[in-house]
Structure 1
């Protein structure tokens, strides 16, 4: 595994067939404000450990892609200026330039698979952006996950994206989607995006069974588990829709395009909801981490 460092704890757990859960780093390098970002990073790792699973937080430290960041490395990435955001295409550049980086879903998934980890929890996936018919703006997450036999838990895709087109792309890319105890596809901040998916699963063991049969059939794409935020914790749908409409209008009026669009919209929503969207973000993430850990346990037991 040239160019990749795997912590001793994670390597031993993978070799022994013990449950391991991959966690991304962009949520605390770019997704949450300080000091809450570090608090959430520590909370996620402790939540995983409390469920009997080894956490493997993934990031890049001084150019070294690392699976299983130490507490000191997590603190450093959470508090240092100059930490970049690295997708899969950026990993080699960051390595040669000696950069430290938070890894996106695409980069985290790739590194997790290289280290032999089978389950990864994140907040919301990237997807097809609004207006993609003209801009061809689509997250690298989708194409990357189409090539990796992982289980990835998320609360759907962010509601700022084009959810119907994203679901179409998932089908085209042979990415199976199952809803955890629901057929309502979640929209990150809200439990029901208004779009349905075909399959519902009722337990971590059922998800593990699906992953095992997928592997036996030689299907090399990710199983996406859509895990909605609890209804009592979601952003009120009426507020969500109203603020999102104003955010989109403000982006259009300000000429915000390309990679600047997502951070602009998320920042707008956070400000206009008085920070409520940030609280939902954390609830979403913790729920996905807990479910991911349970799936990792079920997969390890099946082996």
Structure 2
């Protein structure tokens, strides 16, 4: 029985500081294997799509300078020019589905960015487009806390993406156990998730089943702790007139600076936990096939 789990690689090259990035990548792959599934970290090396990386390739991705962050629009550029790239949720999901891998694990998904200078937010992550188009199972800890969570939840609904709360009734927000926003349905077991996924397939619905898992209790950060630090980070970003691609890494870095090691611990723990949940779902799906 083959039960592959796709893992994104942007978190290795861009999301976590060294040496935690490599250690976390190894831990996530080990966690998937321990559950009887097959980890498949996806990246592009010298223009070649890699569906699963050797240990030395993981190390290269974690340590080499100039690794490009690759979303959907970037895929043909990186492949055609023979570059190295770490794939985002959207790009990972696209490549995984093309390779016949229906289950993916990540940390937090992208969504609708918060408004800056009172202007409507025009920056909407390609993750939402990929989720609306590709009928896979994506395990995450909800949208990143830096986003406009209400607008992101509305976009998920508008695009027909079923949001599952895995052992929770509210959608988590990355480091935080809850966003205060509801999910569409609660599932407490991998079998329940697979039943929902099969129902979507029988109905011919496009788009993903988004399984949201709160971070482990031992490391989860309350919203009342994160939000003041986030507001200050947003003010800093406005002062620097940051937009688009520069905004997300800046805000996440600012949160790490203001909240210290708690943010890093939460990020690492939720990535490993999501890999475990995804592996269990992948095994249940393979058994049900």
Shorter-chain TM-score range: over 0.9
Match of 2:201, SS state, is helix
Match of 1:255, SS state, is coil
Tell me, which stretches of 5 or more residues in structure 2 are unaligned?
none
1:109 pairs with 2:97: no
Number of equivalent positions: 287
Aligned partners of 1:65 and 1:91 also within 8 Å: no
Written as runs of structure 1 = structure 2, the 5 A alignment for 1:221-236 is 221-236=207-222
- Counterpart Cα distance in 1 of 2:43 and 2:103: 16
CA deviations on 1:127-166 (whole Å, 9 max, x unpaired) are 0111286241100000111111100001000111001101
TM score, norm. by length of structure 1: 0.92
CA RMSD of aligned residues (A): 1.2
Aligned to 1:57: 41
Select which of 184, 189, 211 maps to 2:175.
189
Aligned partners of 2:160 and 2:207 also within 8 Å: yes
1:180 pairs with 2:166: yes
Aligned to 2:131: 145
Aligned partners of 1:205 and 1:298 also within 8 Å: yes
Residue 54 of structure 1 deviates from its aligned partner by 0.6
Residue 274 of structure 1 deviates from its aligned partner by 1.6
Aligned to 2:54: 70
Residue 100 of structure 1 deviates from its aligned partner by 0.4
Aligned partners of 1:86 and 1:104 also within 8 Å: yes
- Counterpart Cα distance in 1 of 2:128 and 2:227: 25
- Counterpart Cα distance in 1 of 2:224 and 2:162: 30
1:18 pairs with 2:6: no
Tell me, which stretches of 5 or more residues in structure 1 are unaligned?
1-16
CA deviations on 1:276-297 (whole Å, 9 max, x unpaired) are 2111110111111110000001
TM score, norm. by length of structure 2: 0.96
Indicate the structure whose relative CO is greater, using CA pairs within 8 Å and at least 6 residues apart. 2
- Counterpart Cα distance in 2 of 1:54 and 1:232: 27
Aligned to 1:81: 65
Match of 2:270, SS state, is helix
| Greater CA drift, 128-137 or 286-295 | 128-137
Match of 2:253, SS state, is helix
Aligned to 1:9: none
Residue 236 of structure 1 deviates from its aligned partner by 3.5
Residue 242 of structure 1 deviates from its aligned partner by 1.6
Written as runs of structure 1 = structure 2, the 5 A alignment for 1:106-255 is 106-131=90-115, 134-255=120-241
1:42 pairs with 2:26: yes
- Counterpart Cα distance in 2 of 1:94 and 1:35: 26
Select which of 242, 259, 262 maps to 1:276.
262
Aligned partners of 1:149 and 1:222 also within 8 Å: yes
- Counterpart Cα distance in 1 of 2:195 and 2:54: 32
Aligned to 1:7: none
Displaced runs of 4+ in structure 1, greater than 4 A?
none
- Counterpart Cα distance in 2 of 1:302 and 1:254: 52
- Counterpart Cα distance in 1 of 2:227 and 2:122: 24
